A and B are shown apart, each in its own frame.
Chain A
């Protein structure tokens, strides 16, 4: 079946762009049992889902596992999707997968979150953060910013972290976040405000490491 999709492949990573009409058709076909239709949705949303898992869990391997688990769970329960934001529905699935993983970690704590070299030393600029289009300085700065933010995110309570990841990193609006994690809108506002304040306080500890990033924000207004 053809859904009129725009598919492009960069190396092994496939990207699918969907219009709302295409998405609706794909969802309906997936609900009827089409694995191809569901996989088209996977290709469209896998970056968002993976990024959400990565920011909540702070580890690429765990995030990959949670993403795969989330898509598997989503396929099995796609008949329960009754309309609304499919992205929010997927985010709920991946959030649940992340919570399961965090519970597992609590029961049996395992490895450090930072990747290591072959010698067992922690990598300063891990390979998995590298973007080939950046200059070395930009890369170093981006790495530092990302490290600092991830560190501060890891220190947030998971319910705050989930809200801030969805709202500020995924760019979802309040109602989508409320739908994804099934809490009232007022709770979303409250958690987001407190999470932002805590992050700001935490990031102040990295001000010397991240001068450029902070300077960029000075003197801006709403």
Chain B
């Protein structure tokens, strides 16, 4: 009897590893940008190409950067959640219109509604690379000191918003601007 215990133990341990492995999401790569300064950018606005929007304009407040594109199917699924967040006025949401065409992007917002305070137009995706974007949509929460505190890869669900974003933003709003 005793001789079976060791192989059985090894087998159960292996099952445990495989079980955990199955439940991990390999697409969620931990971002090295968490708790680092948000990469600075200044881009032309989507609607007003002659005006710019960038990290400097948002300094001193908690804000949300949402990477989106008109060609991104998952973004459509996420869109109502963003609209709700804009309605609740949680924090200003800046859109990063990623590798899109200006006309398609604007048309998309006209059709479905515009949750963004303003959208930056990142046509060649360079700002996206600076933010380590690899799967649109992605969402960053940036604090008053310009530090990235949260990154969501893939769509924001109502659960994520109520469970993570709202508590985090409330906490960040209480933090001092310059510490």
The answer to whether A binds B is no
B-binding residues in A (CB < 8 A): none
